Structure 1
Amino acid sequence: MNVRVISKGNAKGKPLVSNEPLSFLGGVDPKTGKVIDPRHPLKGKSIKNKILIIPGGKGSTVGSYVLYQLAKNKTAPAGIICIKAEPIVAVGAIIAKIPLVDGITIEDMEKLSKCHEVEIKNGKIKMIKK
């Protein structure tokens, strides 16, 4: 998969995939890392230490600060992979030092959802099967 590195770093974790964009402000509890948006398909799931795979983010620019708070609370995802990372997710990942890449396709998302683990390393995505 050809990806664009937005926030450098390496990460490894279980994939958590959604075809819906995620708003971090009001959508994720920074204390627990759980998705709390009642309309989001990931509601009730924890993003903590996962490789979060989403089309992108949405909502308020304060979402960047929520990503930073998640990192400070040690409830952040290990890494984020997006189809298209917009500024909210990009800035949040950079200030929180969460590895972030984008440029994947919907087909890539489906493949990644079937992996046991996903690794972001040196700007590349590696799928780890059981």
Structure 2
Amino acid sequence: MKGRTISPGKASGAALVSRSPLSFYGGVDPKTGIVIEKGHELEGECVKGRVLVFPQGKGSTVGSYVIYGLKKNGVAPAAIVNQETETIVATGVILAGIPCVDKIDIGKIKTGDKVVVDADNGTVEIVQEIT
């Protein structure tokens, strides 16, 4: 799938997919990488080393620093894939050096799929689908 580069780099890993927006400030613990937003479909899941796939971010601009904190604490996602990356996520992934691509049809990706993100070229490839 061809999208738009938000933050360059290459990464791969198992996808962790949300069909709803994600808030990093108050939604993801920057020390553990665990989604703590009450009632969110990813509540209790850890983003560490995964390709985090969600439509777009939401919430406070402090979310950018939470993304940076995830990276600094060694619990960041390997890459982020969005339908539409808004300013909060864009700023965070650039500060943290996390590969990020948007303009992707995230409906084609399922949690557990092995995904390769080549943000240098704006591509996302599902290399192994879960059954």
TM bin (shorter chain): over 0.9
Give 4+ residue runs of structure 1 displaced > 6 Å after superposition.
none
Contact 2:4/2:122, CA 8 A, preserved across alignment: yes
Tell me the CA shift for residue 114 of structure 1.
Answer: 6.1
Aligned to 1:119: 116
Are 1:24 and 2:21 matched, yes or no? no
Higher helix share: 1
Aligned-residue CA RMSD in angstroms?
1.2
Higher strand share: 2
Number of equivalent positions? 127
Task: Deviation per CA, 1:19-78: give whole Å up to 9, x if none.
Answer: 110000000001110000012100000001000000010000000000000000010000
Gaps of 5+ in 1: none
TM-score relative to the length of structure 1: 0.93
Corresponding letter in the other structure for 2:11 = A
Which residue of structure 2 lines up, in the alignment, with residue 38 of structure 1? 38
Query: What is the alpha-carbon distance in structure 1 between the residues aligned to residue 107 and residue 17 of structure 2?
Result: 8
Q: What's the counterpart of residue 93 of structure 1?
A: 93
Deviation of 1:115 (Å): 5.8
* Counterpart amino acid of residue 100 in structure 1: C
* Percent identical residues: 50
